[in-house]
Structure 1
Amino acid sequence: MVHRVQVRPISNDEGNRLLRIVRRSSGSVVTWRRAQMVLLSAQGMAVPQIAEVTFTSPDRVRDVLHNFNADGFDSLKPKYAGGRPPKFSLEQRQEIKKAALSRPTDHGLPFSTWSLSKLADFLVAEGVVDDISHEGLRTLLREEGVSFPGRQDLEDQHRPGLRDQEEPGAGALRDRRRAPPSRPR
């Protein structure tokens, strides 16, 4: 019989430490996400539910829980290794570009524009890629000719919307707003 993967019983101090990591807005995103997985498991949530909430695979959640059970808080910190960035296949690159050019609402998501983090989470959740960094995603999109808003790109990118459409007769109102106020004599 296969037993359910769950985090070991944690003490109040460990629970408070996990809460501080999850509530803190600074620090590593990897550490934050791993702490969130451990905390959700400690609260009794099942692995598939944790995977859904954290936009990752159940296998990754199981790995995080096993590592935490074996190594404690040291397992939450990322151990980055240098080396060559991952290569994506032509099919993966096409899927990434297709997703970046689509609107999130087309996929049933509750926001209207992509951010790098939302797009990366979506690509992992959909199984297009196993993992992709924000900078790696930005680089790949530039190579594919997709303009994606970054700090320097936000001023350059403009999407036409409702504000760009004028109602009939709005020109007179616009001209009246631009005219300097007349002074009484």
Structure 2
Amino acid sequence: MVCVDLTLDGDEVVVEREETSMAEPVRARRLTENEGRTLLRITRRGKHESIRVRRATIIMAAASGTPAPAIARLLGAHEDTVRDVIHAFNERGPGRVGPSVGGRPSPPDQRR
């Protein structure tokens, strides 16, 4: 990728070009047979929360080789969101398909 920086130096326009490399495309790791069945079940049944279906769809598409920008366009999501879901799955496995619980952690004396 080429970045161009235009600056004014008096009456002249100075053009500086810089070659930059793009980051490697993010890919989901290979799914185990059990993970594949679980993700397929989530996407095919209508019982799950929409965020779970969406994340499972992202992971399945990425695991089949679909690039993150294409997945984002298909789902109407931001590319960064797709990449975040794929990275989280690669690091933590299928448990990342469910919605994360937000908010502050409980004070130490109220934790179980």
* Fold match by TM threshold 0.5: yes
> Normalised by the size of structure 2, how large is the TM-score?
0.68
User: What RMSD, in angstroms, separates the aligned Cα atoms of the two structures?
Assistant: 1.6
**Matched residues in 1 for 2:102 and 2:84: separation?**
18
What does residue 23 of structure 1 align with? 44
CA deviations on 1:18-43 (whole Å, 9 max, x unpaired) are 11110010121111100000000111
Greater relative contact order, per chain length (Cα 8 Å cut-off, separation 6+):
2
Report the counterpart of residue 67 of structure 1 in structure 2: 88
Q: Give unmatched runs, 5+ long, in structure 1.
A: 84-185
**What does residue 55 of structure 1 align with?**
76
Moved beyond 4 Å, runs of 4+: none
Q: Is it true that 1:3 corresponds to 2:3 in the alignment?
A: no
1:15 Cα deviation after fit? 1.1
Letter in 2 for 1:64: V
Report which of the two structures shows the higher radius of gyration computed on alpha carbons. 1
1:73: how far off?
1.3
Q: Percent identity?
A: 36
Please, which of 59, 62, 67 is the counterpart of residue 46 of structure 1? 67
> TM-score by structure 1 length?
0.42
- Of the three residues 89, 99, 111, the one matched with 1:78 is 99
Matches within 5 A, 1:124-135: none
